[in-house]
Structure 1
Amino acid sequence: MPVRSAPARRPAGLLVPLVLVLVACGATVPAQRATADPGAVPVVAPQVLGEIPHDPEAFTQGLELRDGTLYEGTGRVGESELRALDPDTGAVRSASPLPEAYFGEGITVVGDRIWQLTWTDGVAVERDRATLEPLREVAVDGEGWGLCQSAPDRVVRSDGTDTLHFHDPADLAPTGSVAVTLDGSPLGELNELECVGNRVWANVWKTDRIVRIDPATGVVDAVVDAAGLLPADRRAGADVLNGIAHVSGDEYLLTGKLWPTTFRVRLPVPAA
């Protein structure tokens, strides 16, 4: 993705306690929005359940929760890292940098490995999940933005366009692609990804929207409008919404580049 914010700041670890904000009766931000056309794609708002601290100097590019660890990939040349975080406090348990010249992008856990994309460097880095240390680099044709594993034999990559690319999780060899549409029109600038069941969630860059995509057809079947999730009085220095991690059921973690907090939310979308 293009560099999207003010000059770089060196990331710092988080060593702060859990801040949990419970919202009475599952209040939304704002309330669920009705669609004018009963046949239109449903649009909902996230219901905030709580918050955990997030490093406000982390340029978040990828987020994934697995087995009690929250993995985060960060970007910017000279500052890109893969981090293992405590999901309850946001504290950095360990971190491993990318080579100085690389701009880090999306990540996904594949067994005992983690793949981390780079933006325009033409490579993805395979890492050891236990140590976060790099094991090898493989070539990737095109830009890297978001990444997630949708099936044992497939990972999905976004490249900032309206196309989702499919790859073999063993070596990221290309296996196909699908064009994404919303209400019959191409939907571009797909960013960070999260695969849940038979659907792919994607941030839409430069917006407060998250879309749910059927990867078999490319059709968007639900939209999350997260406008106001990070209040205006807390947005100083913050960049775009970017970062989706599935917790369980309809609960997710959402954050953004340089955001001071990660929200635990419920996404009340219709079942796929």
Structure 2
Amino acid sequence: MNGFKHLIIIILAFSLSNCGDNSDKKNFGISTNAKNNTIALNQVLELNIKNPNNLEVDSISYTLDGKNIEEKTPLSNFKLGSHDIIATIKYDRETEIVTQSISIVNAETPKVFGYQIINTYPHDITSYTQGLEFYNGELYESTGQKGESKLRKVNYKTGEVLKNVNLADNYFGEGLTVLNDNLYLLTWLSGKGFVYNPKSFERKSTFKFGKSQEGWGICNDGNMLYKSDGTEKIWLLNPETLVEDDYIQVYTNKGKIGKLNELEWINGKIYANIYQKNGVVIINPENGATEAVIDFSPLKERVTKHKGLDVLNGIAYNPETQTIFVTGKRWDKLFEVKIIEE
């Protein structure tokens, strides 16, 4: 089936964490029904304590992600990804804590969506596109590479640059998003991002990244910011404090998807480019499940071939037209498309 062929093209090689028992002591361990320490969402997680010395146990309690769980626990309300099960075992007036890592994967294979090209517009062939977003009917774009990074407002129909500001040569620009009249722009390895006035392009403030360290893509749902860092994680940032409050891990039914790059929030889902791939994954922001994939690789065949041509990157939803706009790094075209759920 062509859909599965496309799926292989788009998604990175899956990698599963086959973690062992992480007990600090020898008295106890945790055994589960997770095959190779991997279990699917909606299955029932079954736990038992390994007690090779047959010690008399007074009580056992379990937690997963800080939530109390039972020996048999349905996983329907948990996030995907790598997690630690912690068992607290009380015996002979002592307490021992043991940990076991498991990976929770999605229960379903991602769907494969198609697309229809609605319009094709000119795009600056020199722009190493990183972020793309519509705000108040206008298209904003950020680009990368040191010495070339810039923030722009563009007339998407003509390609005319309406406003431009260059980043300092030591910064490598990454994704952008606009929320509450603040434009958030990431940089790659400097560990910081910038906040601009989207009308004047005046820089208002600077913020530092937390555990995410690198800046890749960013989007928002109208309340929270979502930030990728080149791994399988998408971090949730409080827009007031810009502190990373939480994260999701993006997984399919086989394993994690890494190198998540440019992000866009579209109708309650996160659409993400995968770096060095010409496709997009559609993610459930509640649990990190990859619900669908779109293979945009044929679009690259429609742009002008040149030495600096690079991969698809840049996805923006225009609520006025209810269509999606995609381009790539140093592509000379911007494509307006409609997604077809096949």
What's the TM-score, normalizing by structure 2? 0.66
Match of 1:243 among 314, 320, 331: 314
Structure 1 distance, partners of 2:199, 2:322, is: 28
Match of 2:217 among 141, 146, 159: 146
Contact 2:303 2:331 (8 Å CA) reproduced: no
Partner of 2:335: 263
Partner of 1:20: none
Structure 2 distance, partners of 1:54, 1:232, is: 13
Partner of 1:155: 225
Segments of 5+ residues of structure 1 without an aligned counterpart are 1-31
Three-state SS of the structure 1 residue aligned to 2:194 is strand
Match of 1:224 among 265, 286, 294: 294
The 1:250/1:221 distance shift into structure 2, 3 A limit, reads farther
Match of 1:169 among 226, 236, 239: 239
Segments of 5+ residues of structure 2 without an aligned counterpart are 6-107
Match of 1:98 among 167, 186, 192: 167
Instruction: Please tell me the residue identity of whatever aligns with 1:166.
Output: L
Give the Å deviation of 1:89: 1.2
Three-state SS of the structure 2 residue aligned to 1:182 is coil
216-225 vs 226-235, greater mean Cα deviation: 226-235
Counterparts of residues 182-201 of structure 1 (less than 5 Å) = 182-201=252-271
Contact 1:33 1:44 (8 Å CA) reproduced: no
Three-state SS of the structure 1 residue aligned to 2:297 is coil
Structure 2 distance, partners of 1:49, 1:83, is: 24
Partner of 1:88: 157
Give the Å deviation of 1:47: 1.0
Match of 1:113 among 161, 176, 182: 182
Partner of 1:7: none
Instruction: Please tell me the residue identity of whatever aligns with 1:148.
Output: C
Structure 2 distance, partners of 1:246, 1:167, is: 21
Give the Å deviation of 1:72: 0.1
Structure 1 distance, partners of 2:303, 2:203, is: 39
The 1:207/1:151 distance shift into structure 2, 3 A limit, reads same
Three-state SS of the structure 2 residue aligned to 1:207 is coil
Match of 2:118 among 31, 38, 49: 49
What's the TM-score, normalizing by structure 1? 0.82
Three-state SS of the structure 1 residue aligned to 2:327 is strand
Give the Å deviation of 1:214: 0.4
- The answer as to 2:285 corresponding to 1:215 is yes
Structure 1 distance, partners of 2:3, 2:312, is: 22
What is the percentage of aligned positions where both structures have the same residue?
34
Aligned residue pairs: how many?
A: 237
Contact 1:158 1:190 (8 Å CA) reproduced: yes
The 1:259/1:199 distance shift into structure 2, 3 A limit, reads same
Give the Å deviation of 1:225: 0.6
Three-state SS of the structure 1 residue aligned to 2:340 is coil
